């Protein structure tokens, strides 16, 4: 135990602190996923529109999200936007803004893909039955797309949880930051804590993400 | 926007870009090799090895690169495995990318219609011939979009290298902001340099995707 540096977890509340840090990461990703799903559906419906402007704008939006690393976006929002607009937002809000910006694009694209894959006859039939466009979406199209979307959005949750590891860079005390603090505090008494603590953090991330991604692939196979 | 500042920062950003590219292409190359080998092992159902690779893929797909890097860079030296920061970066990127590539290529292999191997068999091709000339080229072709998406993903992930003291784009931007507080200029340059790095890959991906779509028949 001493050699692997696992002893630090039994000192004080170290392990609980680590779990607290993990909760911060999970909380940020859950809030962002919720926002992404709600706005993403709206954006996805908008993306299926035939208007040229909307097509160009959504193409640019998707390309920005595809190309810019999330870390860059975090820096732009947390350091850049606060400087330009002279407002004051907390690191956690910045993280949620960035993750939602990213999630809305991904969800929007998924929703758009799912909507397009619905056969045209479904739209035509509901129109023939005299349903308004809003009714068609609400009662016919959305219920069919939701099934295809649920596994994909669950996948998005795991990717967000993984990406939350970056938020330590803008000063949020999440699991990695707590891990570093524990290591620093115990540097003298337990020099090998670096190994034990990072191994446990590795394991914690895996234990959270793995079941969720299993669930996603199970649902994907089952509802395909 | 102060243009003099931007011009004076250019050399540092250029060095950072070169470093990022150097680690990036090595990581992508090794990831591709690892991915193909792992996918082959799973496809050919080699016992024991297959289970080990299955665990490897699940572990590395379900943990963030940052945590993997911290483990490789800070934790492994404690059990006597010391690597230079750059080697850590390449290793981390290859291991993460290998898991993603393996998954992409594996699903490409599995999506080849059964009729393809049946036809090859009826033409008198041996198992290894079938695989070499029929299955594998088609699988690679149909996984090109996935592979290119992975390449972009890996290049984006290089942004976490600053945490293990590699002077990449992110590190340079953070460093310069810390020293001279020219936040807007630094962040703009950061965005531009990432565009310079990843936009060509994205465009190349679109071209490759169109060129290499020969695996259409029977699927």
Q: Note whether B67 contacts A198, CB cutoff 8 Å.
A: yes
- Tell me which of B191, B194, B206 to substitute to probe the interface with A (most A C-beta atoms closer than 10 Å): B191
Per-residue confidence (pLDDT) for residue B219, from 0 to 100:
44
- For residue A141, what pLDDT is reported? 83
Q: How many domains does chain A have?
A: 1
What confidence score (pLDDT) does residue B217 get?
53
pLDDT reported for residue B156: 92
Closest partner residue to A192 (CB to CB) among B62, B78, B190 is B78
Residue B216 has pLDDT above 70, yes or no: no
A–B CB contacts, 8 A cutoff, strictly below: 102
Q: Is A21 left (phi over 0), alpha (psi -120 to 50) or beta?
A: alpha
- On whether residue B152 sits in a domain, the answer given is yes
Alpha-carbon distance A120 to nearest alpha carbon in chain B (angstroms): 23
B218 pLDDT exceeds 50? no
B66 inside 8 A of chain A by CB: yes
* Chain A, nearest residue to B56 by Cα: A206
ipTM value: 0.86
Residue with the two structure tokens 């011939």: B129
- What phi-psi label fits residue A51: left (phi over 0), alpha (psi between -120 and 50 degrees) or beta? beta
Q: Locate B155 and state its tokens.
A: 């290049």
- The answer, yes or no, to whether residue B53 has pLDDT greater than 50, is yes
Which pLDDT score is estimated for B111? Answer: 83
Residue B218, domain member (yes or no): no
Average pLDDT for chain B:
89
> CA of A194, closest CA in chain B: separation in Å?
5
- Expressed as residue numbers, the domain containing A187 is 7-223
Of the candidates B75, B170, B202, the beta carbon closest to that of A71 is on B170
Interchain contact B180–A (C-beta under 8 A): no
Mutate to test the interface with A, among B1, B16, B62, B178 (most CBs of A within 10 A): B62
Q: Report d(CA A64, CA A205) in Å as an integer.
A: 28
* Alpha carbon of A201: minimum distance to chain B alpha carbons (Å): 7
Given A192, A198, A213, which is nearest B71 (Cβ)? A198
Please check whether residue B217 lies inside any domain of the structure. Answer: no
A155–chain B nearest CA distance, Å:
11
Q: How many domains does chain B fold into?
A: 1
Report yes or no on B187 lying in a domain. yes
Residues of B in contact with A201 (CB under 8 A): 67, 70
Residue partners of B64: CB distance under 8 A and separation at least 6: A162, A163, A164, A165, A166, A205
CB-CB neighbours of A35 under 10 Å = 18
Q: Is residue B195 part of a domain?
A: yes
The alpha carbon of residue B59 is apart from the nearest alpha carbon of chain A, in Å, by: 6
Residue B33 near residue B78 (C-beta atoms within 8 A): no
Q: Which residue do the tokens 């199209």 mark? A: A141
Residue A2 forms part of a structural domain:
no
CATH code at position A197: 1.10.3720.10
Distance from the A36 Cα atom to the nearest Cα atom in chain B, whole angstroms? 20
What φ, ψ does residue A183 adopt, rounded to 5°? -60, -45
User: Are B74 and A5 a contacting pair at CB < 8 A?
Assistant: no
Spell out which residues of chain A touch residue B61, defining contact as CB-CB under 8 Å.
213
Count of CB atoms within 10 A of residue A150's CB?
16
Query: For every one of its 224 residues, what pLDDT tens digit does chain A have, with 9 covering 90 and above?
Result: 457 777 777 777 888 888 888 899 889 999 999 999 899 989 998 888 888 999 899 989 999 998 899 999 999 999 888 888 888 889 999 999 999 999 999 999 888 888 888 888 988 899 899 989 889 888 888 788 888 888 888 888 888 999 988 998 888 888 888 998 888 888 888 878 888 889 999 999 999 999 999 999 898 888 76
Instruction: Confirm if B194 and B186 have CB atoms less than 8 A apart.
Output: no
If interface means Cβ-Cβ distance under 8 Å, which residues of chain A face chain B?
Answer: 5, 63, 66-72, 75-76, 79-80, 83-84, 158, 162-166, 169, 176, 179, 191-192, 194-195, 197-199, 201-202, 205-206, 209-210, 213
Count of beta carbons in the 10 Å neighbourhood of residue B182: 19
Share of chain B above pLDDT 90, in %: 54
3-class SS string, chain A = CCCCCCHHHHCCCHHHHHHHHHHHHHHHHHHHHHHHHHHHHHHHHHHCCCCHHHHHHHHHHHHHHHHCCHHHHHHHHHHHHHHHHCCCCCHHHHHHHHHHHHHHHHHHHHHHHHHHHCCHHHHHHHHHCCCCHHHHHHHHHHHHHHHHHHHHHHHHHHHHHHHHHHHHHHCCCCHHHHHHHHHHHCCCCCCCHHHHHHHHHHHHHHHHHHHHHHHHHHHHHHHC
* Cα radius of gyration rounded to whole Å, chain A: 22
Residue B205 touches partner A, C-beta closer than 8 Å:
no
Contacts of A28 (CB under 8 A, 6+ apart): A92, A95, A96, A99, A160, A164, A167, A172, A174
The predicted structure's pLDDT at residue B215: 61
Query: Residue A194, CB half-sphere, CA atoms under 13 Å: how many?
Result: 17
**How do residues B95-152 score in pLDDT, each as one tens digit?**
999 999 999 999 888 888 888 888 888 999 988 888 888 888 888 888 888 999 999 9
Residue of B66, B100, B103, B173 to mutate when probing chain A, most A C-beta within 10 A: B66
Domain presence at residue A106: yes
Give B71→chain A minimum CA distance, Å. 6
Chain B residue numbers with beta carbons less than 8 Å from the beta carbon of A67 are 152, 156, 194-195, 198-199, 202
In a domain, B110, yes or no: yes
Tell me if A190 sits within 8 A of A95, measured CB to CB. Answer: no
Confidence at residue B95, expressed as pLDDT on a 0 to 100 scale: 95
In angstroms, the CA A189 to CA A176 distance is 20
Element (H, E) at B159: none
Spatial distance between the Cα atoms of A20 and A191, rounded to a whole number of angstroms: 23
Q: Hey, how many other C-beta atoms are within 10 angstroms of the C-beta on B78?
A: 19
Residue-range definition of the domain harbouring residue B38? 3-211
Provide the 3-class DSSP secondary structure of residue B87. Answer: helix
Provide the pLDDT for residue A171: 86
Q: What is the CATH number of the domain that holds B66?
A: 1.10.3720.10
Q: Is residue B200 included in any domain, yes or no? A: yes
């Amino acid at each position: 135990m001493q050699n692997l540096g696992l002893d630090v977890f039994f000192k004080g509340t170290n392990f609980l602190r680590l779990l607290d840090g993990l909760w911060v990461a999970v909380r940020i990703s859950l809030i962002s996923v919720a926002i992404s799903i709600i706005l993403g559906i709206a954006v996805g419906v908008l993306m299926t529109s035939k208007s040229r402007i909307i097509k160009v704008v959504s193409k640019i939006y998707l390309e920005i999200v595809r190309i810019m690393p999330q870390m860059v976006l975090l820096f732009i929002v947390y350091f850049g936007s606060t400087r330009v607009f002279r407002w004051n937002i907390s690191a956690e809000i910045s993280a949620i803004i960035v993750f939602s910006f990213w999630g809305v694009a991904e969800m929007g694209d998924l929703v758009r893909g799912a909507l397009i894959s619905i056969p045209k006859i479904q739209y035509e039939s509901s129109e023939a039955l005299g349903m308004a466009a809003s009714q068609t979406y609400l009662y016919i199209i959305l219920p069919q797309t939701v099934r295809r979307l649920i596994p994909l959005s669950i996948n998005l949750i795991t990717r967000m949880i993984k990406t939350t590891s970056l938020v330590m860079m803008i000063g949020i005390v999440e699991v990695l930051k707590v891990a570093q603090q524990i290591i620093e505090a115990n540097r003298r008494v337990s020099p090998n804590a670096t190994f034990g603590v990072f191994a446990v953090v590795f394991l914690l991330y895996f234990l959270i993400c793995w079941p969720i991604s299993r669930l996603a692939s199970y649902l994907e196979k089952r509802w395909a | 926007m102060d243009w003099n500042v931007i011009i004076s920062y250019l050399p540092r950003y250029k060095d950072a870009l070169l470093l990022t590219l150097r680690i990036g292409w090595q990581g992508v190359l090794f990831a591709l090799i690892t991915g193909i080998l792992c996918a082959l092992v799973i496809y050919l159902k080699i016992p024991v090895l297959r289970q080990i690779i299955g665990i490897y893929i699940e572990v590395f797909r379900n943990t963030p690169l940052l945590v993997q890097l911290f483990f490789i860079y800070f934790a492994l030296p404690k059990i006597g495995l010391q690597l230079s920061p750059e080697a850590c970066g390449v290793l981390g990127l290859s291991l993460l990318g290998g898991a993603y590539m393996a998954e992409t290529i594996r699903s490409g292999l599995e999506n080849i219609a059964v009729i393809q191997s049946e036809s090859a068999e009826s033409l008198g091709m041996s198992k290894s011939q079938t695989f070499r000339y029929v299955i594998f080229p088609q699988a690679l072709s149909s996984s090109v979009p996935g592979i290119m998406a992975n390449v972009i993903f890996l290049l984006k992930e290089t942004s976490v290298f600053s945490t293990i003291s590699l002077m990449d784009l992110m590190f340079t931007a953070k460093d310069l902001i810390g020293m001279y507080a020219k936040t807007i200029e630094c962040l703009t340059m950061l965005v531009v340099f990432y565009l310079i790095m990843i936009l060509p890959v994205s465009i190349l991906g679109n071209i490759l995707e169109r060129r290499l779509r020969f695996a259409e028949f029977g699927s």
